[in-house]
Amino acid sequence: MSKSYILKGGLLPNGTKSDIAIKDGLISGIGTSLDASGSEIFDIANCVVLPGLVDLHTHLREPGREDAETVLSGSRAAVKGGFTAISAMANTSPVADTAGVVEQVFRLGQEAGLCDVFPVGAVTQGLEGEKLSEMGAMANSIARVRVFSDDGHCVSDPLVMRRALEYVKQFGGVIAQHAQEPRLTVGAQMNEGIISAKLGLKGWPAIAEESIIARDVLIAEHVSSRLHICHVTTAGGVEIIRWAKARGIDVTAEVTPHHLLLTDDLACSYDPIYKVNPPLRTQKDVMALREALAEGIIDIVATDHAPHPAETKECEWQEASFGMLGLETALSIVMATMVDTGLMNWEQVADRLSIAPARIGGYSDHGQEIAIGKSAHLSVINPTASWKVDRDLVASRSRNTPFHGMEFPGVVTHAFFKGVKR
């Protein structure tokens, strides 16, 4: 049964105060004095209404590691964070390198019904970096995969990377690269620098990321294909992407919320909650990433939501898994680091967290302007409210948030998916 809503008194991303009517899954009216008969009314005075957030980088773990996360639990976390579309990464068990697996993930998302779940296909078979996966079959499946990534592993062989970039051109796909030269990061545990030396933990040099970014933008230029750089973390990486864009290379890039906020000095606690791939970097890198996101050199924010069961995090640093939760805290961290600091306005937030990721992923029903006739995928945030992160209250099946006990601005009050409040 179709539902009708009136959102009263909210602020559009451009600051205009307006009521919004939702009916039959679409935005049916924008303005004042809208006909509210038969509609459920929500008073959202002083709240900002954004197009539903879109995450291009989400680890849902299903199939294979349902103890850490499922498509359903990840969808719940997504909606709680204001996301109406998420992208399920391929490093599942079995790996999402065939049409059968991506269709399974797609159907699980449809069954959950809380947000759109778009599977990301593996670039190589088994994420082993040697033979290309069934990219064509995945692209032609019911999942219509357009984003391919071996995330968690770098496609380190330049010939394999070239072939992948060439192959996806036939259906308008994009290769999302995890930029990490494996020979420079054998056994690496954290950012290489003064703190890693002090702690006696093997360092992860910035050049391991930057050398792959540099190589791949040149390959993408050579074959005239689309390249997306996952989770950029270094000031040097930003400058390479800036150069590539100035040269006209078709490259896009993402930054995670945790790399906009946290730094490598947190490793001094030896708490593996701060162990992440790629690692937390320096304050200089953090500021470079913020400036690049504001400028648009980095195109989007992506969560890299990486749930893990307690036993793989509550152990020695060297033995712990890499990764942090991200879906439920992303928008608040962007508000704290980018909006409250004056680096970005809400129109830019709408672009970096919805419009641009939907465009990169080819999610045509998402990332739309808030206008009559558009799909009613909407997120509502109260920027004057604040909340404290509690790992025991997250919607994820896992608890590995580095933000436990921290207070953030901005509370997601409502999320509407296909015109229905979730």
> According to the model, what pLDDT value does residue 290 have?
98
Dihedral angle computed from the Cα positions of residues 306, 307, 312 and 315, in that order, rounded to the nearest 10 degrees: 80
Cα 405 to Cα 35, 213, 380, 408, 418: the distances in Å are 43, 35, 23, 10, 33
In a domain, 269, yes or no: yes
**pLDDT of amino acid 3:** 85
- Is 78 a domain residue? yes
How many CB atoms lie under 10 A from the CB of residue 267?
Answer: 23
- The verdict on residue 33 lying in a domain is no
Domain span at residue 278 reads 52-368
User: Is 304 in the active site?
Assistant: yes
Residue 243: partners with Cβ closer than 8 Å, 6 or more residues away: none
Kindly report the pTM of this predicted structure: 0.97
| Residue of 151, 304, 390, 392 marked catalytic | 304
pLDDT of residue 35: 83
Helix axes 158-167, 206-223, angle to 10 degrees: 40
Is residue 22 a part of any domain in this protein?
no
| Both structure tokens of 108 | 């699980």
Residue 341 lies in a domain: yes
Provide DSSP, 108-167. Answer: HHHHH-SSEEEEPBPSBGGG-SSSB--HHHHHHSTT---EE--TTS----HHHHHHHHHH
Question: φ, ψ for residue 7 (rounded to 5)?
Answer: -100, 115
CATH number at residue 197: 3.20.20.140
The H or E element that residue 356 is part of is helix 356-361
Q: Give the span between the Cα atoms of 139 and 357, in whole angstroms.
A: 18
Residue 235 in any domain: the answer is yes
Is 385 contained in some domain? no
How confident is the model at residue 38, as a pLDDT? 86
Residue 324 has which token pair?
Answer: 């942090």
Q: Structural domain tally of the chain?
A: 1
Give mean pLDDT in consecutive 10-residue pieces for the chain, a chain of 422 residues. Answer: 87 96 94 86 96 98 97 98 98 98 98 98 98 98 98 97 98 98 97 97 97 98 98 98 98 98 97 98 98 98 97 95 98 98 98 98 96 97 98 97 98 96 93
Residue 25 resides in a domain = no
pLDDT of residue 262: 98
pLDDT at 103: 98
